[in-house]
Amino acid sequence: MTRHIPVLLEDVLNNLDIQKDDIVLDGTAGFGGHSEQLLNKLDTSGTLICCDQDKVAIEHCKTKFDSHNNVLFYNINYSSIFDVLKKQKSKPPNKILIDLGFSSFQLDSAGRGFSFLQDEPLDMRMDTSKSQTAAKILNAYNKNELSDLFFNNGELYHNKKLSENIVIERKKQKIETTFQLVEIIKKSYFFSNSRKQYMKVSSQIFQALRIEVNKEFDHMLKFLQHAIDNLPPEGRIAIITFHSTEDRLVKQLFKPLKKTIAPIHKKVIQATQEEIRLNSRSKPAKLRTYIKVA
């Protein structure tokens, strides 16, 4: 398995200010990079809640933390965790982390079509029990729906030709693999032999589809509202986003609530040049942390 390096780790730990007896929720545990360090801050009076909708990821965490008796595991989307805890009459967490990025393993090795660099089925489901896939979207959405998807989810403003070509090509043959989509991308844009431009545009397109398949924005907003409602006084939540739409949605949600839940730092925290050098995937990461004040 590709080693996953948790982004902005020291900033997360400093801003959450974990105490030994805290109840800590890692809502997007992934392969346990942040979770491991959060757990190290707790003693047996504290509890770590690991939540992830990816069954492979949560099973990995179970193995990783097998020797600990104060870790709870939930193989569900993080937006549902407060409903589950309420049904179980469990005490809600007072420290929360969500990292909205994807691990290297999920992107590169899952075989679900997250990467345009490998020829795989266009699946992109984090929860494989769900029915919607990227292939179904590409073969069903009309031209305007595709255009809106790429604009809203991928911040791809020049997408008319791409959306038109998807509709044209699927009439000839169903679009089912990543490399089929890559060929359509190459037909739709003039990259003038610029690999950097090709990588950027392709990343935006694949990101837009992944967000649509997994309803990432909907789940994020639902979770954040539940977190705001359930955090006790002095409770903290740290949110790591990876593109401007996510970050904007977070800011818009929290801004009118600053008398109830206030930002710990005025400016967004981003990776240092040294962290980016060691882990290039940290470059777009932005951390915002809030504390419940009333």
Residue 34's CATH number:
3.40.50.150
Domain boundary pick from 182, 214, 246: 214
Q: Based on the domain organization, do 181 and 136 belong to the same domain?
A: yes
Cα 186 to Cα 58, 165, 197, distances in angstroms:
37, 10, 11
Domain boundary pick from 157, 187, 214: 214
Give a yes or no: residue 32 inside a domain.
yes
Residue 76 DSSP class: S
Give the HSE-up count for residue 249: Cα atoms under 13 Å, Cβ half-sphere. 20
Q: What is the CATH number of the domain that holds 176?
A: 1.10.150.170
Q: Based on the domain organization, do 202 and 114 belong to the same domain?
A: yes
Give the HSE-up count for residue 121: Cα atoms under 13 Å, Cβ half-sphere. 8
Number of domains forming the structure of the chain: 2
Q: Based on the domain organization, do 22 and 86 belong to the same domain?
A: yes
User: b vs e for 16-55, b when ≥16 Cβ sit within 10 Å of the residue's Cβ?
Assistant: bebeeebbbbbbbbbbbbbbbbbbebbeeebbbbbbbbbe
Give a yes or no: residue 233 inside a domain.
yes
Give a yes or no: residue 187 inside a domain.
yes
Q: Based on the domain organization, do 90 and 141 belong to the same domain?
A: no
Tens of pLDDT, residue by residue, the chain (294 residues): 445 689 999 999 999 999 999 999 999 999 999 999 999 999 999 999 999 998 989 999 999 999 999 999 999 999 999 999 999 999 999 999 999 987 666 666 668 899 999 999 999 998 888 999 999 999 999 999 999 999 999 999 999 999 999 999 999 999 999 999 999 999 999 887 788 899 999 999 999 999 999 999 999 999 999 999 999 999 999 999 998 999 999 999 999 999 999 999 989 999 999 999 999 989 999 999 999 997
Q: At residue 67, what are phi and psi to the nearest 5 degrees?
A: -85, 0
Q: Which domain holds residue 160?
A: 110-214
Q: Based on the domain organization, do 118 and 208 belong to the same domain?
A: yes
Please tell me the predicted confidence (pLDDT) of residue 110: 66
Residue 121 DSSP class: B
Give a yes or no: residue 2 inside a domain.
no
Domain boundary pick from 214, 240, 255: 214
Structure tokens at 32: 């346990």
Please tell me the predicted confidence (pLDDT) of residue 128: 86
CA distance 209 to 153: 8
- The structure's pTM equals 0.90
Give the HSE-up count for residue 244: Cα atoms under 13 Å, Cβ half-sphere. 6
3-state DSSP assignment of residue 52: coil
Give a yes or no: residue 3 inside a domain.
no
Q: Based on the domain organization, do 122 and 210 belong to the same domain?
A: yes
Q: Based on the domain organization, do 114 and 131 belong to the same domain?
A: yes
Q: Based on the domain organization, do 260 and 195 belong to the same domain?
A: no
Please tell me the predicted confidence (pLDDT) of residue 107: 66
Give a yes or no: residue 104 inside a domain.
no
Give a yes or no: residue 266 inside a domain.
yes
